[in-house]
Amino acid sequence: MPSTRLHIRRGGPGEAPRHDVFDLSFEPGESILDALRRLRISADPTLAFRYACLNANACKECMMLLDGKVIYACTARLEARDMRLDPLPNKPLLRDLATAIAPPDERLD
């Protein structure tokens, strides 16, 4: 099985940015969302990211940055290399990779 090294941005608004590093092996074809969900079970249940539809690319919630480019975590595949994940830069940060993406009139702040 190939393995990947994920550098994941952690913390909330106002905290000094840091990237935690996670190494994990994967089956070819698996997505970044597959890896994040697995990490919550095996390594760190506090890791925050958004998703609802489980890899169907229907809910469009799992947008984030991979190496600086906007992707859907559910359709971006894992690769056997260092991969850096960051939250969307143009949305208010909630925590880790999760940002406030709901339309403003559908939020209770």
Least gap, CB of 28 to another protein (angstroms): 7
Nearer to another protein, 68 or 104 (CB): 104
Handedness of CA 29, 32, 38, 43 (dihedral sign): positive
Can you list the alpha helix ranges (DSSP code H) found in the chain?
32-42
Residues that bind another protein (CB under 8 A): 12, 27-31, 34, 40-42, 45-61, 72, 74-75, 77, 94-96, 98, 100-102, 105-109
Give the nearer residue to another protein in terms of CB position, either 54 or 80. 54
Q: Which is nearer to another protein, 21 or 100 (CB)?
A: 100
Q: Is 72 helix (H, G, I), strand (E, B) or coil?
A: strand
CA distance 19 to 54: 25
SS3 of 82, please? strand
Output the smallest distance, CB 81 to another protein, in A: 18
The CB-of-7 to another protein minimum distance in angstroms stands at 20
Q: How far is the CB of 85 from another protein (least distance, A)?
A: 15
Strand order in the sheet with 69-72: 18-25, 3-10, 82-86, 63-66, 69-72
